[in-house]
Chains A and B, each alone.
Chain A
Amino acid sequence: MSKKLLQVEQLSIALKNPHQQLIRDINISLEEASAAILLGQSGSGKTMTCRAILGLLNRNTFQVDGNIQFDGVSLLQLKEKERTLYYGSKIAFVPQNPMTSLDPSRKIGVQMAGFLKLHQDLKGKDALSLYEQALSRAGLTDTKRILGSRPYQLSGGMLQRCLIALAIAGKAKLVIADEPTTALDAIHRDKAVEQFLHLQEQGCALLIVTHDFDVARHIGGHVLIMKEGRMVEQGRAKEVLQNPQAAYTRELIEAIHLGWR
């Protein structure tokens, strides 16, 4: 039995004013180098759950209850100064649209080295070469060109790999990805999934939000189905996807197949 890395217990999130319950009693348990998939329709609370784990919810707006344990530390109790120890280093985030989450005017190398310097005691040059190594470990060949490019000069898929490389360079233990394949066609989607699996092989745990069942099947691990802020069903990916118990899961799976005339 490997070690527990992330344990979310009884997570509930509510909007403070006007009071509105958004998420109720979510439990997630993730071991080191394992994977969990959050599946559900838009508006089911998948992204909200991730944002809570990432500490991105404004406490003046949202009431967050429950317990989030990461590596033996309660993330919800973290002080402002301790946050950089975890977010962006041990816990990395791959957003849905990498294009809008990076600074379009600065070169990839400079930006990424800057991120690494925030978390590790590195000189500029060392940070850059560390990142370059990570790029090649992420399977990119023309690393020099990428380092010198600005985000708008690279494709969305390439930027996503740059962020995955950042997770590798930062020695992340957990990568949270929000809808990483939504804008990709089937071929590129499979390539992106391979990237995440590669990350997992390197000892990194994955928490992936998606509404694509093919992605869930491919990555495997533990699947959690959410509906309207609640957990409807969860279990091993194979079992849940092949033999769904909840009526809602069956409804979702049936909607995938469009067929034709």
Chain B
Amino acid sequence: MLEVKNVSKQYKGEDKLLFDAVSDVSLSMADHRIYALVGESGCGKSTLSRLILGLESPSSGQILLDGKPISRKRKNNRKETAKAIQLVLQDGKSALDPHFTVYQVIAEPLRNLLALPKDKERSRVYELLDRMELSKESAAKKTGELSGGQQKRIGIARALAASPRYIVFDESISGLDVILRKNILELLKRIQEEEQCSYLFITHEIDAALYLADEIHVMQNGKLIESRRWCGNLDVFKNPYTKQLLQASHLI
């Protein structure tokens, strides 16, 4: 269970005034489910994801993993957090070191978090490549040589490597063309069913959220304004902003 309890995060803005990037957000994530966080840019989605990953500390409130607070200060705690929660970023290209080979990228979390023996590490890397529909030969390639779609798959493979319980996708599909987007979304759905992990899927594309998620959370100006269990009926959404988003996406 991953719980976000009344979390706020303040930054210093213009004129040294504090502004709330995230204010009083509560969200609890069970195992084996997909949660979507929808909102426009600047609404605090990414800040929330950074807090959940323990990359920043909340100004107030708590983030609990199985009842224990996530903190970025204690070193041991960080490794535990990384084992449980992984991240896939928006820009597949800049998330990978172009000089690393694909093998190195995927093996890194296996070494750092699980300390697997060499033969098991190798077989896990090839298994992941296979799951991502990438050839064995691509393991020896430098990540800079790959196409955008392939880089995205490598980013997902790296996040999956140590079998985390939660994966945070921060705008991972934005900027993809329609065909690539559909492929990646189908892949994500299949992987989640196979791995039985939970996703926090952060996006500004509400149709992608509806495609994947079990629960939809809508964020605006740092606040969660609507949270609904999603079962295929658009009438559950009552908030005017959510409706506006759906309308603009030609869904209602």
Q: Among B175, B180, B204, B211, point to the contact of A258 (Cβ < 8 A).
A: B211
Most buried by A among B41, B178, B180, B210: B178
Min CB distance A165 to B, Å, is 20
A-B contact count (CB 8 A): 72
B47-82 vs A, Cβ < 8 Å mask (1 yes, 0 no):
000000000000000000000000000000000000
Bound-complex Cα distance A153 to B181 (A): 31
B249 on the A face (CB < 8 A)? yes
Are A187 and B178 interface neighbours, CB within 8 A?
Answer: no
Min CB distance A193 to B, Å, is 10
Q: Can you identify 26 A-B contacts, CB atoms within 8 angstroms?
A: A41-B178, A42-B148, A42-B176, A42-B177, A43-B148, A153-B14, A182-B174, A183-B175, A184-B41, A185-B39, A185-B41, A185-B205, A185-B206, A186-B205, A187-B40, A187-B248, A188-B40, A188-B41, A213-B178, A214-B250, A252-B179, A255-B179, A255-B182, A258-B208, A258-B211, A260-B210
The count of chain A contact residues (Cβ–Cβ below 8 Å) is 28
In the complex, what residues of A have CB within 8 A of residue B148's CB? 42-43
Given contacts A43-B147, A185-B41, A189-B248, contact A260 B211 (CB under 8 A): yes
Min CB distance A188 to B, Å, is 6
* A contacts, CB < 8 Å to B: 40-43, 153, 155-156, 179, 182-190, 211, 213-214, 251-252, 255-256, 258-261
Q: A41-B179, A42-B148, A42-B180 are in contact. List 12 more A-B contacts (CB 8 A).
A: A41-B177, A42-B176, A182-B174, A185-B204, A186-B206, A187-B40, A187-B245, A188-B41, A211-B178, A214-B250, A255-B178, A260-B211
Q: Among A42, A258, A261, point to the contact of B207 (Cβ < 8 A).
A: A258
In the complex, what residues of B have CB within 8 A of residue A182's CB? 174-175
In the complex, what residues of B have CB within 8 A of residue A153's CB? 14
Q: Among A213, A258, A261, point to the contact of B182 (Cβ < 8 A).
A: A258
Min CB distance A108 to B, Å, is 15
Bound-complex Cα distance A188 to B174 (A): 15
B225 on the A face (CB < 8 A)? no
Which residue of chain B lies nearest to A153 when distances are taken between CB atoms in the complex?
A: B14
Are A184 and B182 interface neighbours, CB within 8 A?
Answer: no
Bound-complex Cα distance A40 to B180 (A): 11
Are A190 and B248 interface neighbours, CB within 8 A?
Answer: yes
Bound-complex Cα distance A156 to B210 (A): 26
Bound-complex Cα distance A185 to B242 (A): 12
Which residue of chain B lies nearest to A46 when distances are taken between CB atoms in the complex?
A: B177
Which residues of B215-247 have CB atoms within 8 Å of chain A's CB atoms? 230, 232, 244-245
